[in-house]
Amino acid sequence: MLQIIHPFLIFLFFSFHTVHAEELIVAVASNFVVPAKELSQEFSRKTSHKVTLSFGSTGKLYAQIIHGAPFQVFLAADQERPFRLVSEGFAEKGSQFTYAFGRIVLYYHRLSPNQHPKEVLRSNDFTRLAIANPRTAPYGLAAMEVIQNLGIFENLSTRIIQGNNISQTFQFINTGNAELGLVSRSQVINSNPDLYWTIPANLHSPIQQDAVLLHKGLNREVAKEFLEFLKSTNAREIIQSFGYDLE
């Protein structure tokens, strides 16, 4: 038997879903641009909530948060800034957790097939090496540790150029402003594997990337839902597919 649904009931149904769809504003470290976009799309598909992403270096996003930026969740590229935000009263105690472990790579356009990438760093065969600003970008700090642990800082010091964040550093290499650079593996994961070398993990401190619930998101259920989603198997598979380690 054909049943006719009254138009008013249809209106109520869609109104209910519209009322309960919320907007979330997430601050995201620059290394995590592409996976964050995919994760936010998947979260929106599952929940109908809208996610707005704001990207920048971890240090600059931290500065924006303490000066009143309207972010509700922070996906940092380190543990230090989320911890400081909790300690300083800008984030919820007990909400901080690690969502990814980053890996750093040496990315280059031209390399002699007979020369190991590490030896290129030791050589004088290039004029510019790009890294992110180590004062504001955890990947820049890791890059400096690599350079120092290889014992090549003195040789490279006049050839290092710094990007404001890891995205700008990546662009320096792609545009030819630097022949090679130390960037996030997630940025090159779909590139020719002959164009990058994953730096051994023992050459730098772990890049442990933490998420935290900010106080502006404390009373927003959507913020808590998003953080729980990041812990799900689905989200972790997406994160891993972009070259991140999970432990």
Are residues 45 and 76 both part of a single domain? yes
Are residues 28 and 114 both part of a single domain? no
Are residues 211 and 97 both part of a single domain? yes
User: Is 239 in contact with 232 (CB distance < 8 Å)?
Assistant: no
Alpha carbon dihedral 116, 121, 126, 127, in 10-degree steps, equals: 170
Report residue 127 as tokens. Answer: 């004029």
Asked whether residue 2 is assigned to any structural domain, the reply reads no
Asked whether residue 219 is assigned to any structural domain, the reply reads yes
User: CATH number for the domain including 182?
Assistant: 3.40.190.10
User: Is 125 in contact with 109 (CB distance < 8 Å)?
Assistant: no
Query: What are the pLDDT digits (tens) for 93-143?
Result: 999 999 999 999 999 866 665 677 788 888 888 899 999 999 999 999 999
Integer Cα distance of 146 and 148 in angstroms: 5
Are residues 25 and 48 both part of a single domain? yes
Integer Cα distance of 169 and 15 in angstroms: 45
Q: What length does the chain have? A: 247
Q: Where are the beta strands (DSSP E) in the chain?
A: 23-29, 50-56, 73-75, 97-102, 104-108, 129-132, 160-163, 180-184, 196-198, 207-213
User: Is 8 in contact with 55 (CB distance < 8 Å)?
Assistant: no
Are residues 129 and 194 both part of a single domain? yes
Asked whether residue 247 is assigned to any structural domain, the reply reads no
Are residues 111 and 30 both part of a single domain? no
Are residues 35 and 88 both part of a single domain? yes
Report residue 76 as tokens. Answer: 């940092």
Domain count, the chain: 2
Report residue 217 as tokens. Answer: 């998101």
Q: Is the pLDDT of residue 16 over 80?
A: no
Are residues 137 and 190 both part of a single domain? yes
**What is the average pLDDT across 17-22?**
62
Asked whether residue 15 is assigned to any structural domain, the reply reads yes
Integer Cα distance of 34 and 54 in angstroms: 12
Q: Is the pLDDT of residue 50 over 50?
A: yes
Are residues 175 and 218 both part of a single domain? no
Integer Cα distance of 6 and 186 in angstroms: 51
Asked whether residue 115 is assigned to any structural domain, the reply reads yes
Average pLDDT value over all residues in the chain = 91
Q: How many other CB atoms sit within 10 Å of the CB of residue 200?
A: 12
Q: Identify the domain containing residue 224 by its residue range.
A: 7-101+207-241
Are residues 136 and 87 both part of a single domain? no
Strand partners of residue 53: 26
- At 80, the pLDDT band (50, 70, 90 cuts) reads very high
Q: pTM of this prediction?
A: 0.87
Strand partners of residue 245: 101
Q: Identify which of 131, 134, 110, 130 has the alpha carbon closest to the alpha carbon of residue 120.
A: 110
Asked whether residue 246 is assigned to any structural domain, the reply reads no
Final residue of a domain: which of 198, 215, 233? 198
Asked whether residue 189 is assigned to any structural domain, the reply reads yes
Query: What are the pLDDT digits (tens) for 141-164?
Result: 999 999 999 999 999 999 999 999
Q: At what angle are helices 33-47 and 233-241 packed, to 10 degrees?
A: 150
User: Is 30 in contact with 165 (CB distance < 8 Å)?
Assistant: yes
Asked whether residue 231 is assigned to any structural domain, the reply reads yes
CA 203 to chain centre: 20
Report residue 135 as tokens. Answer: 């004062």
Are residues 17 and 75 both part of a single domain? yes
Are residues 130 and 91 both part of a single domain? no
